[in-house]
Amino acid sequence: MKELETTIKNLKLKSPLMTASGTSGHGGEEIDRLQVNRKMKASLGAFVTKGITIEPREGNPEVRIVETRTGLLNSIGLQNQGVEFFVQNELPGLLNFELPIIVNISGSTAEEYARVASYLSENDTCEIISGIEINVSCPNIEKGGVAFGADPREVRRIVTSVRRNTDPRILIITKLTPNVTDITLPARAAIEAGTDALSMINTVRGMAIDVDTCRPLLGNKTGGLSGPAIKPVGVLMVYECFRNIPECYNRDIPIIGIGGVSNWRDALEYIMAGATAVGVGTAWFVNPHIFTDIRSGMRAYVKKRGVRISELIGKAHEAEGDSVNC
């Protein structure tokens, strides 16, 4: 099915669809449980893992997930067993997936990010993984807990140190936070520091209060909003980067669009805004067949129009003034 093929730099994907980090664990277990392994594998272009840190992390106090009318609030707090455990116990299971593996990495200091990247670049591991996705939405412990991604200088510092410590065969993707005024500033900083691609968006900061107890519902009080409510924010941010950053417009720096994708139309919106691939997270909790459904819908759309998905990237930018016949 060549019409759905796409590429992130030199990484060929048979489908533009990816899991969004943190929503399908570190691999096999959730997918096997839902018994959608085979079909899901056929619909995905790549598997993105949940965030990994250098040391194990217990995560935030419960409650960690709250459902809202238009999406999900979460404050998981990057619970994971550390990079060593991941490489030894979880990564081998992911190989059964026979998909490119992108490992999402997090840290509390720039040095921690670099150490995870360095560990993943060792010996056999760098042959197995295709990419590292840097989650810059983590709190910067050295700077009082403000997210790294809110400050372009910090984004530059992290991406530079990850780049220095990553095997050149591994693709570096920087995942941006929407909790900024101008997304193009951290995007440019990441590009100047040597990222190969960008992904956007992570969750939008939010909170919910129980009016019966007068207390915040999340154990951590605040969290990140995902799901349908944030899709217009994500589409806008992809659009702005594609439009204003020449490296994105020229496709030298591909964008992975993420946020609120719940059906094939949503996925196409991201592609027309300028995304080369699309990540799906929260919708998978609702519909275990989401990837198959989106792939079928996109396939029918491109077949009907006799185009390849890659020809639709950034299509909305041609529509200045008039609607175009696509």
Ligand X SMILES: Cc1cc2nc3c(=O)[nH]c(=O)nc-3n(C[C@H](O)[C@H](O)[C@H](O)COP(=O)(O)O)c2cc1C
Nearby residues of 186 by Cβ (< 8 Å), 6 or more positions away:
136, 149, 150, 151, 152, 155, 176, 177, 180
195 lies in the site for ligand X, by CB under 6 A: no
CB-nearer residue toward ligand X: 184 or 282? 282
The residue whose two tokens read 């459904």 is 293
281 lies in the site for ligand X, by CB under 6 A: yes
259 lies in the site for ligand X, by CB under 6 A: yes
- What's the min distance (Å) between Cβ of 228 and ligand X? 8
* CB 147, CB 138: distance < 8 Å: yes
Quick one: which of 205, 103, 196 has its CA closest to 149? 205
| C-alpha to C-alpha distance for 246 and 107, rounded to whole angstroms | 30
Q: Which of 66, 72, 91, 189 binds ligand X (CB under 6 A)?
A: 72
- What's the min distance (Å) between Cβ of 245 and ligand X? 20
- What's the min distance (Å) between Cβ of 31 and ligand X? 16
Active site residue 126: no
| C-alpha to C-alpha distance for 122 and 91, rounded to whole angstroms | 14
| C-alpha to C-alpha distance for 299 and 304, rounded to whole angstroms | 8
208 lies in the site for ligand X, by CB under 6 A: no
In the complex, residue closest to ligand X by CB = 22
- Of 138, 214, 248, 326, which is the active-site residue? 138
Using left for φ > 0, alpha for ψ between -120 and 50, and beta otherwise, residue 123 falls in left
Q: Which of 260, 270, 276, 313 binds ligand X (CB under 6 A)?
A: 260
CB-nearer residue toward ligand X: 72 or 114? 72
Q: Radius of gyration of the chain from Cα atoms?
A: 19
Of 17-25, 36-44, 140-148, 245-253, the window that binds ligand X (rule: CB under 6 A) is 17-25
Q: Which of 110, 183, 255, 261 binds ligand X (CB under 6 A)?
A: 261
The bridge status of strand 17-19 relative to strand 277-280 is: parallel
CB 77: neighbour CB atoms within 10 A? 18
Q: How big is the chain, counted in residues?
A: 326
**What mask, x for binding ligand X by CB under 6 A, covers residues 23 to 62?**
x--------------------------xx-----------
216 lies in the site for ligand X, by CB under 6 A: no
Catalytic (active-site) positions: 138
Query: Which residues would be at the binding site for ligand X (CB under 6 A)?
Result: 20-23, 50-51, 72, 74, 76, 78, 104, 135, 175, 202-203, 226-227, 230, 258-261, 280-283
